[in-house]
Structure 1
Amino acid sequence: MVVVYNGWFVNKFWRSINIKVDMEIKEGATDKEVNLLLSVLDYTKFIDLLNAVANLLMYRCGLRIGTISRMREQHVDFVNQSLQLDGEVMKKTLPIDDQMTYLLEVMVKQNDC
């Protein structure tokens, strides 16, 4: 017999349920690991600059590589230091710091050459 009290079951059976997942949980990168990666890149090469900016966007803003690959120059608001991502990419406004703004400006200048 199931007894219901005030819309709830008297026996809170869900507290004894343990859910186990067979998948390995991926841990995020640490500051040390990201800095190590950034230290081995040659910023005089455009491809390494691109990789550094992409990694920093993933680490600092939580963006996925697919989102980053769909970003365009018009998504970066250099004045307000933010990413204005529209519905085509991901409908969201994300703040960026001075370093990220500078790196994105350098990338835009290099891309225009």
Structure 2
Amino acid sequence: MKVDKKVKKAADEKELEILLSLIDTTSWIGWRDVTVLVLLYRTGIRIHTLTSLKEEHINFNEKMLVLSGDIMKNGKVLKLPLDDELLMLLERLMKQNHEVRKRYKEKNDYIFISKSGKPTLNNYSHNNAISKRINAYSKKYGLSISPHKIRRLYATNLVRKKVPLAIISNALGHSSYEVTRNYIEIDADEVVDTLRKYL
């Protein structure tokens, strides 16, 4: 007998807004961290994909994130739209990154780098520098935010906007709709309010 899995909690949008308002963006590291959070929130990409991002993955002319198969869990190319605010955050971060790499004589074109200009990427998404940083913020401010919870929030928001499941599944890079269903959290009041419209 198959039993439905319990849907894990998504990040709370208000908590995410609080966190974004608390991070000091006058420092390079603060700017990087805000860019991370906004990118996760607006694209739903996995933390491992995010830390694998290079400058070549950002298409400023077409306002698009072009994720090559080599950085995607499913090995398929994925294109996601980027809004003007996110493009501005990324452009400024990339300029600041250039200065950091120059100072430490590092040669790479990763978008999310450490204070010493090295890539933040490793094979364990829960243990990379960016994940640790988000978890530290969450603990410091008493919030329940993690990269994966933000990914779930992205999926839940797409459902609320009536985006078809096939598009959501594709945007998340999932292998099946079943996996996507496990990401979507809809509370009981939302179900009844939506169904009432069809009576």
With the shorter chain as reference, the TM-score category is 0.7 to 0.9
Instruction: Report the counterpart of residue 19 of structure 2 in structure 1.
Output: 37
Q: Which runs of 5+ in 1 are unaligned?
A: 1-16
Instruction: Report the counterpart of residue 119 of structure 2 in structure 1.
Output: none
**How does 1:11-90 map onto structure 2 within 5 Å?**
19=3, 21=5, 25-90=7-72
Structure-2 separation of matches of 1:31 and 1:60:
12
Higher relative contact order (CA 8 A, sep 6+): 2
More strand by share: 1
Instruction: Report the counterpart of residue 98 of structure 1 in structure 2.
Output: 84
Q: 1:72 to 1:19 in 2, by over 3 A?
A: same
Instruction: Report the counterpart of residue 6 of structure 1 in structure 2.
Output: none
1:35-94 deviation per Cα after TM superposition (whole angstroms, max 9, x unaligned): 111000111111111111111121111111111000001100111111011111122010
Structure-1 separation of matches of 2:59 and 2:7:
35
Identity %: 36
Give the ranges of 4+ consecutive aligned residues of structure 1 lying more than 4 Å apart after TM superposition: none
TM-score (norm 1): 0.75
TM-score (norm 2): 0.44
Structure whose alpha-carbon radius of gyration is higher: 1
Q: CA RMSD in A?
A: 1.7
Matched residue SS, 1:63: coil
Q: Which runs of 5+ in 2 are unaligned?
A: 100-199
Count of residue pairs the alignment pairs up: 95
Structure-1 separation of matches of 2:16 and 2:63:
22
Q: Is the 8 A contact 1:54 1:65 kept in 2?
A: no
